[in-house]
Amino acid sequence: MNSVHEGGCLCGAIRYRVTGEPALSQVCHCTYCQRRTGSAFAIVVAFEEDQVEVLGTTLTQYEHRSDESHRWIRSHFCSRCGTTVLVTLERNPGVRVVSGGTFDDPGWFKINRHIWTRSAHDWIVFPPDVDTYEQGYVKLPRN
């Protein structure tokens, strides 16, 4: 039996449902995530696209080019309240990254990795039981 978890944006116009376990669940300290969230880091929970079903209004998207790789990263957000619900990446076709804080139960998955720690704020203290990476970590089980 696959587990089902739901979430959505702040105003409720966008809802989604994911089935099964995430391929990755990590905290990202990259400068893109810092700016797009306006915060210190993003909670990045990655699924295969067929695990994610978006319900409700269509998401609006914004395409950003990475400073380093020059590949695109797209934020998919609610045009009404501005919550970024999903992110997709050119380098990971077929993967949907869910913004971890938008789950109705934002604690159902376990964070086991922190990435792009080279741009982490200097007050961040990493838990002892997580792996840390100076740069990205994009290897998915199917690769």
Q: Is 54 in the site for Zn ion (CB under 5 A)?
A: no
* DSSP string covering 40-93: S-EEEEEEEGGGEEEEESPPEEEEEE-TTT--EEEEEE-TTT--EEEEEETTST
* Count of positions on this chain that bind Zn ion (CB under 5 A): 9
Q: With contacts defined by CB under 5 A, name the span among 48-56, 63-71, 81-89, 96-104 that binds Zn ion.
A: 81-89
Q: Is 33 in the site for Zn ion (CB under 5 A)?
A: yes
Quote the Cα angle for 83-89-93, to 5°: 125
Among 78, 85, 87, 89, binds Zn ion (CB under 5 A): 78
Q: Is 81 in the site for Zn ion (CB under 5 A)?
A: yes
Please state, in angstroms and rounded to a whole number, the distance separating the CA atoms of residues 32 and 3: 31
Q: Which is nearer to Zn ion, 39 or 50 (CB)?
A: 39
Residues in 1-30 that interact with Zn ion by CB under 5 A: 9, 11, 13, 28, 30
Please state, in angstroms and rounded to a whole number, the distance separating the CA atoms of residues 115 and 44: 10
Q: Is 45 in the site for Zn ion (CB under 5 A)?
A: no
Q: Is 98 in the site for Zn ion (CB under 5 A)?
A: no
H-helix segments, the chain? 31-37
Strand 14-19's sheet: what is its strand order? 4-8, 14-19, 52-56
Least spacing, CB of residue 33 vs Zn ion, in Å? 3
Q: Which is nearer to Zn ion, 21 or 58 (CB)?
A: 58
Kindly list the residues in this chain that would bind Zn ion in the complex (CB under 5 A): 9, 11, 13, 28, 30, 33, 78, 80-81
